[in-house]
Structure 1
Amino acid sequence: MAHVEDRWMRKARDENGNVLFDSKGKPVLERDPVRYGKGSRWRLRYDGPDGREKNESFGKKVDADNRKKEVEADLLRGTYIDPKAGEVTFRQQAEDVIENRTLDPGSRRKMRERLAKHVYPVIGGKEIGWLSRRPSAIQQLVKRLEAAKLAPSYIEVIMAHVGLVFSTALEDELIVKNPLRSPVVTLPKVVRKKLVVWTADQVLDMADDLPDRYQAVVDAGAGLGLRQGEIFGFSPDDVDWLRGAVAVNRQLKLLNGTLIFALPKREKTREVPLPEGVKVGLSEHMRLFPPVEVTLPWGDVDGDPVTVRLFLTNNLGAPVHPVSFREVWNARLTRVGIVPKLAAGEKRGNRYREHGVHMLRHYFASVLLTDGESPKAVSEWLGHADGGALLLRTYAHLMPKSEQRMRKAIDAALRRPDSAAGGPQAAQGLID
């Protein structure tokens, strides 16, 4: 089993080499002339699972004794991890995760940029094993991020990257526990605004005011729940016109200034039912603006070229550039009265960002949920990855309350065919 020894002291011996004992029968200790005052005083020694002797040094005996208890318990449970495995620095472990984790190129670049800017300067050079045993060091990182005046939502994103690094180290058996799960680590509270969804009139006003070439954006966003990149990457070949279904297979992305095709967000493809009105709108769009074949790299700027027929292209027959389209969209937001005109000298701020193309997707979800559609089904059509949890957090306040559903269901069930209003009179015969 494990035992702790004092490296600075040794057993005293007489001139014949015999160990000296005190009056209580304990060995007399004296300073080791070579080791005394050098390095950590206490050393823990034990045999690892492979039968080889391991040793760890500590400055305080209490730390050595506590570690001894941990080692003996871990060896007994079969959960022992060699502390030398955690000697890799946080930055080394993070870069390994970034390179080998299945991430799309854009996500990989953003994760590396955020860690390099906000995390590496604080804990990048520290050993991940040391950090795993000191959640207080992680909390100090959080405080540094707050002191830098970063938004709580952005801190949440950064710490999610940090958590991924520790989770991977835990799975690779480099550390025993993830320090982010400690109650010591608390993130600033993110105050999430209650979503305000556009009205039907606002959606239709935007559709009417957009150039004819871009009116199909509303059909695909509000009628199918597609994200902006999925709309611009939408192809007639993704539509099963007879069965009435749309396969969401790709998105158009801007990566390092280059347009590329890629899988939808989180690489999650899906199928969405095709409403009759949307089918008619897309058919009319194809008649006015025949689909154009566009060839772009797949997955990355240097990816293999892929050719796709697109519903939406610009006046030159090229794919719609999101930056250029943003100017077109924002101008219409002001013209139809969704976003007020800027006063002289006033900055835009986030007023346009809050009313991007994603508002059409919100409208799609709100209409279905308000009508009583299953949250699970709506979540699948939207391509959410968490089985509906995000949908409920975002749209719960829009869903009809149980008492509303009850009144509607009973009114419908008890209404006589010859009664326009229903109500108590219609139900009187059943009550009697």
Structure 2
Amino acid sequence: MAGSIAKRPNGRWRARYRDDTGRERSRHFTRKVDAAAWLDEVTSTLHAGTYVNPRAGRVTFQQFYDGWAPRQLWLPSTRTNADLAIGSVEFGDLPMKAIRRSHIDTWVKSMSAKWASTTLKTRFVIVRSVFRAAVADRVIAEDPTIGVALPRRRKIEAAMRIPTVEQVGRLLAHADSNRVSTRHGFRAYVALCAFAGLRKGEAAGVQVGDIDFALRRLTVSRQLQRDGSTFVARLPKYGSERVVHLPDELVEMLRLHVERFLPEEPPSDAWLFTVRDGPMYDNDIDWRWRATRTSAGLPHVRMHDLRHFYASGLIAAGCDVVTVQRALGHSSATTTLNTYSHLWPTAEDRTRAAAADLMRDAQAPPGGPRSVGAL
């Protein structure tokens, strides 16, 4: 509906229009030209479907988040991270319409001194999603996070730490301590991460029935996560349910683990790794891992580095991208390439290796390997 402009008895100009709910709204101006310009701007947003109620933006950032967050399909850990991100902003009490890009820039700069670049990016994405939701709900007209620059992240190949075979051997040797009974059985857990590529929660969620000892394979169908003072079993990260093919040595290690640490003929839903009457998870794992790497003299090695060790081994053995993707449970081959592309041989490497084979064949003595002329 088109608006109207009328001169008031006090000499000011009143511009009127009806919003998308049919409610009449108005604003007064000293000059008619200003009233016309404002009315043109408002009516154009109404026609374009981008109209924002001027009163909607009065809600504060924190208030909008408090109403929006419960509607999101988040895991508890995601909600915890979101709450931490929102709690760190310095504009939580400001009306949404008053928040500018400068506020976001200031927050990013202050947090860059406290958080790693990866953590900052994760929490920035959460804050950005709040503003995008506000735009979608027509609380604000524009997202103030657009154009905000984040600190540079280290290249994946520079930041990734891959343990050596010798280091993984030391970790396995120190995983079961004769002096600390509560660490007995942890060696098989470390082996699952290093030689099957399981994530921390995935390894914690393994049950006896998930292991097919005859076919030498493991079905990854759940992960354990902390839920307050207890745990909850959920689908693996990003829905990465999969079957992992196990080496004979790992199958044998798991068989011996079941025989030694679980009751005779355990049920299929028995947890493979236990603490007292429940599964081993979260802090139970962290404590044992810290003790293991300290005992091995490798305090810098992270649990997730064992997953990188597994991936690098598959790539070194000549496995293609799809094979590695399926073994690791990545959502797509793109994720695998983005993470591990630097480990695959380059075209230059393959060219050099092919030329080396040709050269060895050409210089082989008669009666030896094939000659160049036989190609």
Shared fold, TM over 0.5: yes
Identify the residue that residue 360 of structure 1 maps to in structure 2. Answer: 306
Which structure shows the bigger proportion of residues in helix conformation?
Answer: 2
Q: Once the two structures are superposed, what CA deviation does each residue of 1:85-117 show, in whole Å capped at 9, x if it has no partner? A: 44432112211232111111232133223312x
CA distance in 2, matches of 1:178, 1:199: 46
Does the 8 A contact of 1:291 with 1:312 survive in 2? Answer: no
Identify the residue that residue 293 of structure 2 maps to in structure 1. Answer: 333
Identify the residue that residue 340 of structure 2 maps to in structure 1. Answer: 395
Paired AA for residue 270 in structure 2: R
Paired AA for residue 197 in structure 1: I
Q: Quote the offset at 1:266 in angstroms.
A: 4.2
* 1:162 lines up with 2:127 in the alignment: yes
Identify the residue that residue 65 of structure 2 maps to in structure 1. Answer: 94
Instruction: Give TM-score scaled by structure 2 length.
Output: 0.78
Structure 2 vs 1, CA of residues 150 and 311 (structure 1 numbering), >3 Å: closer, same or farther? closer
* 1:111 lines up with 2:82 in the alignment: yes
Identify the residue that residue 428 of structure 1 maps to in structure 2. Answer: 372
Secondary structure at the counterpart of residue 224 of structure 2: strand
Identify the residue that residue 312 of structure 1 maps to in structure 2. Answer: 273
* 1:126 lines up with 2:94 in the alignment: yes
Q: Quote the offset at 1:207 in angstroms.
A: 1.4
CA distance in 1, matches of 2:101, 2:27: 21
Structure 2 vs 1, CA of residues 247 and 97 (structure 1 numbering), >3 Å: closer, same or farther? farther
Secondary structure at the counterpart of residue 355 of structure 1: coil
Does the 8 A contact of 1:293 with 1:308 survive in 2? Answer: no
CA distance in 1, matches of 2:117, 2:39: 40
Q: Which runs of 5+ in 2 are unaligned?
A: 177-183
Structure 2 vs 1, CA of residues 152 and 51 (structure 1 numbering), >3 Å: closer, same or farther? same
Percent sequence identity over aligned pairs: 29
1:172 pairs, out of 110, 116, 137, with 137
Instruction: Give TM-score scaled by structure 1 length.
Output: 0.69
Q: Which runs of 5+ in 1 are unaligned?
A: 12-29, 33-41, 295-306, 340-351
Q: Quote the offset at 1:389 in angstroms.
A: 4.5
- Please identify the structure whose Cα radius of gyration is greater: 1
* 1:270 lines up with 2:241 in the alignment: yes
1:230 pairs, out of 202, 205, 214, with 202
* 1:369 lines up with 2:341 in the alignment: no
1:191 pairs, out of 154, 164, 183, with 154
Q: Quote the offset at 1:287 in angstroms.
A: 2.2
Does the 8 A contact of 1:292 with 1:310 survive in 2? Answer: no
- RMSD of aligned alpha carbons: 3.9
Paired AA for residue 342 in structure 2: H
Secondary structure at the counterpart of residue 215 of structure 1: helix
* 1:140 lines up with 2:111 in the alignment: no
Q: Quote the offset at 1:160 in angstroms.
A: 1.7
Higher normalized contact order (CA 8 Å, seq sep 6+, divided by chain length): 2
1:259 pairs, out of 213, 217, 230, with 230
CA distance in 1, matches of 2:353, 2:199: 33
Q: How many pairs are equivalent?
A: 360
